[in-house]
Structure 1
Amino acid sequence: MQSKIAAYITCYQDQESSNRCIQAIESQSIQVTSIYIIDNSEQPLQLYSKDNLLLIHHYPHNIGIAEGLGKALDWSIEQKYDFLWTFDQDSIPTENCLEILLKNYSKLSQNNDYKIGIIAPSVADKRTAQVVEATIFTNDHFQGIKHNNNVDFYECDAPITSGSLISLAAAKTISPPCIQLFIDGIDLDYGLRLRQKGFHNLIITQAIMYHHFGEPIQVKFINQYRYIQKYSALRYYYICRNHTYLETRFSQGYYRFTSLIKRIKYMVVKIFLIFLYEEEKTRKIWACLLGTYYGLIGNISQNW
């Protein structure tokens, strides 16, 4: 029986990228039935669908990625879909991406003991020619997994949200994304909670999606060129707050202490890089300090 699939996009202030994402979804070799959109822009974006698939919900006060994803999951479960394929607006899946994901899901899930929560593509950022890493949680922190193109798939705790094909049978078994996380760490929390329920989250290496990951800048440090990610003060606040909160809460026993040390070290390094390479230094440094503090004390209701 053919699966019933909906797509979801979080849109914010970028009409051109949003329409490119819609076009890429509609150009898939296997068609989705609907595209559920949360438009967090101040003014409604002019979004277009050649197949009339769009269900657009406008929230000018910006409800964030977490609440938007939660609304899409609730809707797709209520409408008895099998999968929700989730996107950021600046993502472009190749034409056979969904087909490859579904074929691998069907093949791997034939073993009744192998339950799949999320199946996701390899994600590349053309600006840096780098693969965006999925993550695993190891004792006291989330860390990226080195991409391995020599295998058909590999497991992780959390693929990035964009490009993730979520099994709604799995989604029914856990609570929706935490609204208070707002825009960062949603994938880490949601993916790891699925893993803790016994589901497997997979990266399929032959399924490809292109995605703009942050705002990379190339810098020279100790005679080597490398990329670092540059963000707004708002993003730095939520990155520091949410990652600190999640890592110190998922850690157990002694690892809670080592997690705290790692988060403070991350903050110090980030502040150093901001001081060297970025504008609005004072505002961004304050965002890192404040975000880390609220993450440590467990206050994720305090918004920027």
Structure 2
Amino acid sequence: MIVEQKLRPRVAGVVLAYHPNATILRNIAALLDQVNVVYVVNNSAGEAATQVLAPLAFFRDVEVIDLEGNLGVGAGFNAGIRRALDADADYVWIFDQDSTVAPGMLGVLLSHVDDYGVHTGIIGPALRAAETGRVYPADSGVGAVRRHTLISSGSLFSRELLEEIGLHDEWMFIDYVDHDICLRARSAGYTNLKVLDTVLDHRFGDSTPARLLGRNVYLANYSPLRLYYQSRNRVVLLRRFGPRGWFGEDAWFTIKAWTKIILFETQRGLKTASALRGLWDGLRWRRTGE
């Protein structure tokens, strides 16, 4: 009797680099242990990033894609995804430069791709705060759970999904790009999964410590421009998809973030003005071309 053996899918990793330091090389080496090829998208202008990434020329199965400066998270990920799909990848696994993949993570994620049949959408790992070593409360547990949204870093996309719903919205530039593609997957009838049995170490922003009510809190210290995009794109998502399933958690996260901005961060006036300008531009956004 002939037993049909299921072939291992071809998986490409995509790592987005923006003014990286040398730790990105260790992260890429760890990723290479699990995927067939890694595409490193250099989203930085200037020689500094080029020099940091130069040793990758000696890495087998790594290709660096140089963009013309910072084109944004959406465009950066899309450049790597397009290259992966052109090279016949079955799955594309994307990462920020400040995330560290755990051993065996890919196998754990792939073990859940059939949980909902052809309707399994984007799959990602649980998250652990790199600065504290603690798993986020919402990411504790076992097995895989349904989620409306996942962060970009660590997210696994099938070719079939991307061919149906398209790639990231490059107009959004940075924040909520991940929310948008996840919510588009759900709108197309897919189920996004967070796999709690494997954990990604991830850092949000600068993660500078401060003391609040006797405990450590960590400041992202995002620029005024970054806060503009957060504010604008949050409103755009509300208008595209409504609040159901994702906005409650996001609102709580936003309240905590702005509490820390007001109490501890510099440029508070400029950051507030940028966020209000983003709010206004989000309210004025039109669906032209969608």
Give the alignment of 1:33-112 within 5 angstroms: 33-43=36-46, 44-47=50-53, 48-49=55-56, 51-105=59-113, 108=115, 112=117
Distance in structure 2 (CA, Å) of the matches to 1:161 and 1:124 = 14
Q: Given residue 250 of structure 1, which amino acid in structure 2 is its aligned partner?
A: F
- The counterpart of 1:122, out of the listed 122, 126, 129, is 126
Distance in structure 1 (CA, Å) of the matches to 2:123 and 2:156 = 5
Matched residue, 1:21: 27
Q: Which moved more, 1:268-277 or 1:96-105?
A: 268-277
Give the alignment of 1:182-221 within 5 angstroms: 182-221=173-212
Checking the alignment, whether the CA contact within 8 Å between 1:241 and 1:294 is kept in structure 2 is yes
Q: CA deviation at 1:69?
A: 1.7
Q: CA deviation at 1:208?
A: 1.8
Q: CA deviation at 1:63?
A: 0.9
Could you tell me the TM-score, scaled by structure 1's length?
Answer: 0.79
Q: Does 1:170 align with 2:161?
A: yes
- Secondary structure in structure 1 of the residue aligned to 2:164: coil
Judged with a 3 Å threshold, the aligned counterparts in structure 2 of structure 1 residues 186 and 26 are, in CA distance, closer, same or farther, namely same
Distance in structure 2 (CA, Å) of the matches to 1:100 and 1:273 = 36
Q: CA deviation at 1:174?
A: 0.9
Distance in structure 2 (CA, Å) of the matches to 1:295 and 1:128 = 34
Q: Given residue 175 of structure 1, which amino acid in structure 2 is its aligned partner?
A: G
How many residues of Structure 1 are paired with residues of Structure 2 in the alignment?
A: 273
Distance in structure 1 (CA, Å) of the matches to 2:29 and 2:253 = 38
Q: CA deviation at 1:300?
A: 10
Judged with a 3 Å threshold, the aligned counterparts in structure 2 of structure 1 residues 283 and 115 are, in CA distance, closer, same or farther, namely same
Could you tell me the TM-score, scaled by structure 2's length?
Answer: 0.83
Deviations 1:25-74 (A, max 9, x none): 0233xxx2221121011222432346422221212421111012222222
Distance in structure 1 (CA, Å) of the matches to 2:286 and 2:214 = 40
Q: Which moved more, 1:181-190 or 1:151-160?
A: 151-160
Matched residue, 1:140: none
Q: Can you give the 5+ residue segments of structure 2 that lack an aligned partner in the other structure?
A: 1-6
Matched residue, 1:232: 223
Distance in structure 2 (CA, Å) of the matches to 1:269 and 1:117 = 29
Distance in structure 1 (CA, Å) of the matches to 2:196 and 2:256 = 32
Q: Given residue 127 of structure 2, which amino acid in structure 1 is its aligned partner?
A: V
Judged with a 3 Å threshold, the aligned counterparts in structure 2 of structure 1 residues 234 and 84 are, in CA distance, closer, same or farther, namely same
